[in-house]
Structure 1
Amino acid sequence: MHILVRCGAVAVLGLAGCAQTPEGQLTPRSQTVRLCNGNTCTEQDRRVSTLPSAQPTDAERRMQALTEVAERNPNGAYDLGLRLLRGDGVERNSYQAIEWLRKAGDNGHVQAQLALGRIYLMGLEEMGSDPAQAESWLLLAAAKGSKEAKDLLPKAQAAKNDEQSLYRVREAYRTSWIAWYSSAPYYWVWGPSGWYLR
């Protein structure tokens, strides 16, 4: 069987293809590339990098510095937990918030222990209430002299034994929860030379 293949203006019979050099097979490469984002397209020089800058933003530098403070200081861990819980300067993340509050509470930070007692008593987002956890954190805070923890402790103990008590506690305590959640102060503040303790 013979195949007719055209290469240029010459017809060749046979099974072989056209003889071309590799350079002849390549189309000339454009110096630009078309980038589209949604409905907007632009031509950009092929030699320009489109990768995001490796330089951290000011907010990222501050959070990295606060994380370093939080690793070694319970007040910093408490502050980082609050910021993550509120979404203050960072993306809100309740799981990480509780982790940092637990670090602070495990290191004896009374406000963190009280905050964890509140969170476990009231429940938070997808996490339901856990009166037994609330009781253990409130016991720690009450032992260090927290009046609010002493007041909440019997409520957590009652809620542990009775679902109706838990509902009543949550409803009665909701306004003080909101007040704490929105107004508890931070220990560390950002200044021109970095994070410093007030």
Structure 2
Amino acid sequence: MQDIYSGSYGFSIEQVGFLYLGPGSGFLFAVWFLVPRIDDVYKKLTAKHSEKPMPEYRLPLANIGAVFIPMSLFWFAWTVEKHAHWFASIAGTFFYGIGQVMILNCTQNYYIDSFKTYAASAIAAGTVFRSLVGGVVPLLAPSLFDGLGYGWGISVFGFVSLVLAPAPVLFFAFGERIRERFTVKL
């Protein structure tokens, strides 16, 4: 955000810092209003299926993130590319914050329920993967943006998120079979 808003919009470092209130307010909204619903959905689905709990019942609210993340990435990409008012671009990051929290929380709960005894290892493996991707992307992004511009450059990430968007639905539908086929035996 630093390069985009200090360059194209002429913001100072302090002003750029305030722009993180967009995704931050999305994080808070999700934590206050949506994350507590993960257990509610889990309990309703368990009751609906003869009181048989399944880890996949933790995933339905991840679909919020599966929709909001690509939407917000395309929104941000093209409002920045077209030099729309700064508030228009930051408004999209609110939804990114919601999506990120929902996917992370639903996934963490899914790991815990799926791997019970090895939940800490599953969460650690997920964290390592996220950290590796989070470490590599900032190294590659500047050349991507230089070559494609912010609109298409950020849209690349939007397209990747669109490809990954069906994951919560697929794991909801096939997660039990996957877990049975690839059991962890230590």
Answer with 1 or 2: which has the greater Rg: 1
- State the structure with bigger RCO (CA 8 A, min sep 6), 1 or 2: 2
Please confirm whether the aligned pair reaches a TM-score higher than 0.5, indicating the same fold: no
After TM superposition, the score normalised by the length of structure 1 is: 0.27
Structure 1 or 2: more strand by fraction: 1
Structure 1 or 2: more helix by fraction: 2
